[in-house]
Chain A
Amino acid sequence: MASSASRTENTRPRRVSRFLTRARGVEAVAHGVAFLAASTIVAITALLVFELWINSALSRHKFGWDFLFTSTWDPISGQFGALPFIFGTVVTSALALLISVPLGVGAAIFLAELAPPKISDALTFCIELLAAVPSVIYGLIGIFVLIPALQTIVPPLKSVFGFLPIFSGPFYGVSIFSAGIVLAVMVVPFIISVSREILLAVPRDLREAALALGATRWESTWDVVVPFAKTGIVGSIFLSLARALGETMAVTMVIGNTPRIQASLLAPGYSIAAVIANEFREAAGDLYTSSLIELGLVLFALTIVINGAARLLILATTGKAAS
């Protein structure tokens, strides 16, 4: 590249040629540095997958695809199936989103559109503080505050909705339900602060165009501003989903750490991240370790699949709006 550049420059006056060569030199260096930085990210991801893949070979060869679809997790007899953990991870994350999305998006709309700016700024500061609280603290609050509270709330709830399978069975406190609520509280600050920024970035004249047609403030917010910000809001939700799927500490403190699939949300469960954190150090035998590593691979794949599906969903819905 450099040689071809200097060859074409030979016909031009020397000073110009020198300047151009130098400029191209800087260009090449900047290009190289940026390329290196970008490829490092790709390399780290590839290395991660590669390591997980290699180190889970034992478990992959022994169980094959059955690893994903069996629910026995028995280190003593050497039987490992990932299904209860996949179930626990997906259900707690789904529950978290079910609670946090209406709450978070609603709060963001309030802060961006309705609240006076001073109140909005003060509340946003508090919300951003919440996002910085370490997850172990959320776990402790789950154990000492949430679970005792749930123990008084759940029995009346059961007496009304007890006929539903999801509210059947005894409630001991630690459960999928508790984990879902803790996760919801953890991710709601992300949804609020990102969605608020996106709503505030909607062009003012778009809002005014609706007002100029005689729309009320709420109509202009709901019909025009929120649809305009939709893609960004959905993005904030997936960011939260990624956090919920991978959250380890707070979940393991309240989920009950029981590798079983039960219809009731009130029953204890287990998540992928929690079982890896709890059992990796004590894993005796290569197969056990290898199975835990394969769980890591599964979590990685799950995150990619869910994020990919989410992106397709965004494309499909924005594509529909555009046609």
Chain B
Amino acid sequence: MNLPSVNKGAASGEVGQRPPESAPKLKSTNLDFYYGTYKALQGISLSIHPNRVTAFIGPSGCGKSTFLRTLNRMYETVRHTRAEGEILLDGEDIFALEVSQLRRRVGMVFQRSNPFPKSIFENVAYGPRVNGTTRKADLQERVERSLRRSALWEEVKDKLHKSAYDLSGGQQQRLCIARALAVDPEVLLLDEPCSALDPIATAKIEDLLFQIKDSCTVVIVTHNMQQAARVADYTGFFLLGKMIEFDSTKVIFKTPSRKETEDYITGRFG
């Protein structure tokens, strides 16, 4: 329905239906994932392009969030999980990187807004602080820049030292985005970031994604197909732990090559 807006946001490479052949930011090859003995992902191979928004869609339990959580190894906080295969970040094996270093480069925003029990300022300053920024002026500069990038600055600049819990749900989620942006991540992962928000707050976050992709590669999981159509340059469709189809958003929504994708897009199931 809002498909034309996709094309404005997406850059070159749409005409030939093939992704541009720039070096991928993240590249997953034959990735399998297990919860205990249950195989949740099977042989996922795909490339995520720099400075683009990539969306993963699919019905609940299809593995899209699980895949997202392997990209910064966040799955490791859950016991009895295991990933096999290869994921490269700028050509480097993420399983060989030091995990806190990886997560500083690959930030994450969660489904439920989850500000820390601290002030607005301290929420945003936390990431730079744990990564070694201590000078007050530097922190202030970073906090302001991050809050501006997440379009929250004008709303909170007079109450930076109020509790983050005083903000509305939509503001809290934008605060969480500002918090993630404060460490200048190369990739930002968003796990259904708008599922608890009203349409106006959702629209604000979607606008935001357009802006931050200039400086950052964005990967978003959503159960809302219209959202994927609106914000994403590329879309991957997951079903039962498999990546069914991955292509530019326009192709996925207009001329999918797989029947499963078409059925899902047209609402025949899911």
**What 1/0 flags go to B98-116 for Cβ under 8 Å of A?**
0011011001101110101
- Among B77, B107, B179, contact of A204 (Cβ-Cβ < 8 Å): B77
Q: Are B118 and A213 in contact (CB under 8 A)?
A: no
Is B147's beta carbon under 8 Å from chain A? no
Instruction: Give 1 or 0 for each of B129-163: 1 = CB within 8 Å of chain A CB.
Output: 01100000000000000000000000000000111
Closest-by-CB residue of A relative to B165 is A322
Interface presence of B48 (CB below 8 A): no
Contact of A208 among B108, B127, B130, B182 (CB under 8 A): B108
A150 within 8 A of partner (CB): no
CB of B118 within 8 A of CB of A205, answer no
Chain A contact residue count (CB 8 A cutoff)? 24
Give chain A interface residues in 90-109, CB to chain B under 8 Å. Answer: none
Give the distance in Å from the alpha carbon of A227 to the alpha carbon of B165 in the complex. Answer: 14
- Shortest Cβ gap from B102 to chain A (Å): 8
Which residues of B sit under 8 angstroms from A211, Cβ to Cβ?
74, 77, 100, 103
Q: Is the CB of A213 within 8 A of B114?
A: no
Residues from chain A with Cβ under 8 Å of B163 in the complex:
321-323
> Contacts of A230 on B, CB cut-off 8 Å?
117
Question: Chain A contact residues: over half helix, strand or loop, or mixed?
Answer: helix
The chain A residue with its CB closest to the CB of B161 is: A323
A173 to B7, CA, bound (A): 84
Q: Knowing A205-B110, A205-B114, A321-B163 touch, does A212 contact B126 (C-beta < 8 A)?
A: no
**Residue in B107, B161, B166 whose CB lies within 8 Å of A213:** B107
B70-120 at interface with A (beta carbon < 8 Å): 72, 74, 77, 79, 100-101, 103-104, 107-108, 110-112, 114, 116-118
* B165 pairs with A212, CB closer than 8 A: no
**Contact of A214 with B116 at beta-carbon distance under 8 Å, contacts A208-B77, A208-B110 already known:** no
Bound together, the chains give a CA A213 to CA B72 distance in angstroms of 11
- At the interface, yes or no: A206 with Cβ under 8 Å from chain B? yes
Q: Which of B118, B130, B161 contacts A214 (CB 8 A)?
A: B130
Residue from A207, A209, A210, A321 whose CB has the most chain B CB atoms within 10 Å: A209
Q: Report A223 CB to chain B, min CB distance, Å.
A: 7
Chain A positions 232 through 249: 1 when the CB is less than 8 Å from some CB of chain B, otherwise 0? 000000000000000000
Say yes or no for B53: interface residue by CB 8 A criterion: no
Nearest-neighbour CB distance to chain A for B123, whole angstroms, equals 9
Pick the contact of A212: B107, B162, B166 (CB < 8 A): B107
Across the interface, B114 reaches (CB within 8 A) one of A206, A223, A321, A323, namely A206
Are B72 and A212 within 8 A (Cβ)?
yes
Point out the residues of chain B lying under 8 angstroms from A228, CB to CB.
116-117
B218 to chain A, nearest CB (A): 15
**Is A128 interfacial (CB 8 A cutoff)?**
no
A39 at the interface (CB under 8 A from B): no
In the complex, A212→B162 CA distance in Å?
Answer: 23
What 12 additional pairs, Cβ within 8 angstroms, besides A204-B77, A212-B180, A213-B180? A203-B114, A206-B114, A213-B126, A214-B127, A219-B130, A223-B126, A223-B130, A224-B116, A227-B116, A227-B117, A228-B117, A230-B117
Q: Which residues of A contact B (CB under 8 A)?
A: 117, 203-216, 219, 223-224, 227-228, 230, 321-323
Instruction: Offer 16 A-B interface pairs, CB within 8 angstroms, sorted by A.
Output: A205-B111, A207-B77, A209-B114, A211-B77, A212-B107, A213-B104, A213-B180, A213-B182, A214-B100, A214-B131, A219-B130, A224-B116, A227-B116, A227-B117, A228-B117, A230-B117
